[in-house]
Structure 1
Amino acid sequence: MTAVDNLWYLASEARQEAEQVYHRLADEHEDYVEFQTTRTVSRDRFRTVAERIEAQGLPYGAHTLAYRPSGELLLVKQEAIDTWVLPGGEVEPDESVREGARRELGEEAGIDVTYDGLGILGEVRFLSDGHEAWGVLPVFEGEADSTDLEVRDPDDEITEARWFEELPENARDRAVLQEWRSDRFGE
Structure 2
Amino acid sequence: MKKSLLVSAVCIYDPEGRLLTVRKSGTTKFMHPGGKPEPGETAAQAGSRELAEEVGILVDAADLELMGVWTGTAANESNTDIVATVYTAPGRWDSKAIRPTAEIAELRWMDISRAAEHDDLAPLLTEYVLPHLLAS
TM-score scaled by length of structure 1: 0.54
Q: Deviations over 1:79-103 (max 9, x none)?
A: 4231101111111123221011011
Conserved? CA contact 1:63–1:88, under 8 Å: yes
Aligned residue among 20, 30, 34 for 1:84: 30
Amino acid of the structure 1 residue aligned with 2:84? L
Post-superposition shift, 1:78?
2.4
Q: Deviations over 1:102-152 (max 9, x none)?
A: 110111111235845211310248xxxxxxxx7631011123553221122
Conserved? CA contact 1:71–1:181, under 8 Å: no
Q: Which runs of 5 or more structure 1 residues have no equivalent in the other structure?
A: 1-39, 50-58, 126-133
Post-superposition shift, 1:64?
0.6
Partner residue, 2:54: 108
Name the structure where helix makes up a greater proportion of residues: 1
Q: 1:113, 1:66 → 2: CA distance? A: 11
Matched, 1:140 2:92: no
TM-score scaled by length of structure 2: 0.71
Identical aligned residues as a percent: 23
Q: Which structure is higher in RCO with an 8 Å CA cutoff and minimum separation 6? A: 2
Matched, 1:67 2:67: no
Report the 3-state secondary structure (helix = DSSP H, G, I; strand = E; otherwise coil) of the residue aligned with 1:139. strand
Q: Deviations over 1:1-20 (max 9, x none)?
A: xxxxxxxxxxxxxxxxxxxx
Q: 2:48, 2:17 → 1: CA distance? A: 20
Q: CA RMSD in A?
A: 2.9
Report the 3-state secondary structure (helix = DSSP H, G, I; strand = E; otherwise coil) of the residue aligned with 1:68. coil
Matched, 1:163 2:109: yes
Q: What is the aligned residue count?
A: 121
Aligned residue among 172, 177, 182 for 2:122: 172
| Residues 1:179 and 1:142: Cα distance change in structure 2 (over 3 Å) | same
